[in-house]
Amino acid sequence: MILFPFRYLWWLITSLRRSFGKPPDFVIYVLEEEPPALPDPPRPFWQRLTARNRLSVKELAERFDLIARHKRIKGVVVHLRPVPMSMATLEDLRELVTKLRNAGKRVVAWAPFYTTGTYYLACACDEILLMPSGLVQPMGFAATGLFMADGLRRFGLAADFVQISPYKSAADMLTKSKMPDEVREQMTWLLESQHNELVGAISESRSIDEQAAKNLIDHSPYGDQDALQGRVVDGLVGEEKLPSHLGPGNGAAASVAPWDVARRKIRMPAPKLNLGKYISVLRIEGTIIDGRSGRLPVRPPIEIPLIGQDRAGDLSIVQAARQVAGDKRTGAVVVYVNSRGGSATASEAMRQALDMIGSRKPLVVVMGPVAASGGYWVATPGSWIVARPSTLTGSIGVLSGKVVTGGMWSKLLVNRETVAFGARATMESDERPYSDEERQVVQREIERIYSLFVEVVAKARKMTDVQVHAVGAGKVWTGRQALERRLVDEMGGLEAGVTKARTLGGLREGAPVREVRTSKRMIPPRAESVPSGWFGYVLEGLALLGRAPALAVMEDVPGEVL
């Protein structure tokens, strides 16, 4: 507030400077990595030297909004690279493109070659261009399961897990030798849902019926000339020829520039002195653990599911929730969830804290690419749940178990001997599988937690326990399937969630949105427990999940598409 006059003066000076010169006709974006929904949280200074913040969907939306308002910029060129992205993220990007087109701007997709994911995104654009000699690769969806039980046995290793139903298959990779029928069934309905989204996009973009769109997919791949003749693409244009292609004609070429150049000619909105209420955004991303939230110091080249991902710790999330609940200027709350789940106890602790917010302020949950198992558990306090059509959600179920290493040590001629007091002191030991009695104990525990999970969902979604069990028992759904089963309320992304939160909170249309940054006084730094490098982070993740009494985690189902 004290600095506002200086901010406004600086805006006036920069606006005057930006008013000179002509902006480019088209702004070009190279999409070379999957953008997160929200900007990366601030990193410690030493990590900023090695880590690069990614351009988020939220930041891209803000840039597109500036472009939409600028009268002299004609449109955007989206240069697409073959990047694996979740269908939900692609749907976020398609929404941004559609909004920009509705503002009267021209959006052109260009790529050296198209994959299923990039072609799905390109179908939202005015024009699909392919580089001469380029290719539209085979399109469609496939998922491969990896089942390691026989291979682990050769090394003296085994996994002993108890699951609430065969659909709760997170541990099947370790416990099974081949794909169970239930997993095959689940993969089939998930892939079919995503395939239908692709068919619908192609049908609308190419102005053809659904059967023709399916034929277009089934007859892929296409070389450049075949793609052009079959109206799979609209033109064959080299990147160096884009200015001429985008020009008004008569030999005139359009100017094309990246955002870093264009922004110098775009007048930014005037800073506002916001003294009223705002919407607070609280994020729950990564594996849910008992402890504090954390991120890898440096992202490894290959992401290791669950243990190698970002972590959402109950100690951090609960403190943030208490902070939001006590903030008098927070008129409504949006909780962004992107998590496959994790610890059931941590999920319940977060749910109770979010319930506290919901009892005081309107609370809307927005699901990212994945909000399943524990990720769905923490979403239940939302009075309104928003998901993308291809969000992976549900997986209402529990499993628990351990990896047994006793056979490996004997193969290595290593003798392990244990002295213990207490009949079940070694129940969770990795030396041996559960006994029949211990298995019954584990079974009772996961049934108890599952009953709690079902009760929480039934109360939140105004369903009976029987209705929840029918769509639960570990089954995973896409967002569109979840909408049909009353597990979510609306198809959309963060913007839809913010709009709903403004309505529920009675806030004005332009009420600002602020992400929650927890106070250091409430959440002291844990420098002593920060692991050294990504390998240490993974080892710590194994230990954290191993200490959880039960796991609400989603099985490995198709989540990314090239």
Q: Does residue 541 have a pLDDT over 70?
A: no
Band (pLDDT 50/70/90 cuts) for residue 530 is very low
Residue 527 has pLDDT above 50, yes or no: no
Tokens standing for residue 222 = 């296409």
**What does pTM read for this prediction?**
0.88
Enter the DSSP assignment of 433.
Answer: P
pLDDT at 331 over 60: yes
**Residue 395 vs residues 12, 61, 186, 475: alpha-carbon distances, Å:** 52, 31, 11, 5
Q: Are 354 and 321 in contact (CB under 8 A)?
A: yes
**CA distances from residue 479 to 22, 102, 250, 493 in whole angstroms, order as listed:** 44, 25, 48, 11
At residue 227, φ and ψ (nearest 5 deg) are -65, -40
- Tell me the pLDDT band of 303, cut-offs 50, 70 and 90: low
Q: What is the dihedral of CA 114, 116, 121, 125, to 10 degrees?
A: 50
Q: Which domains does the chain have, with CATH numbers?
A: 4-139+220-265 (3.90.226.10), 278-398+434-553 (3.90.226.10)
Mean pLDDT of 154-173: 91
The pLDDT value recorded for residue 51 is 62
Angstrom distance (rounded) from CA 262 to CA 29? 11
Tell me what the pLDDT averaged over the chain comes to.
87
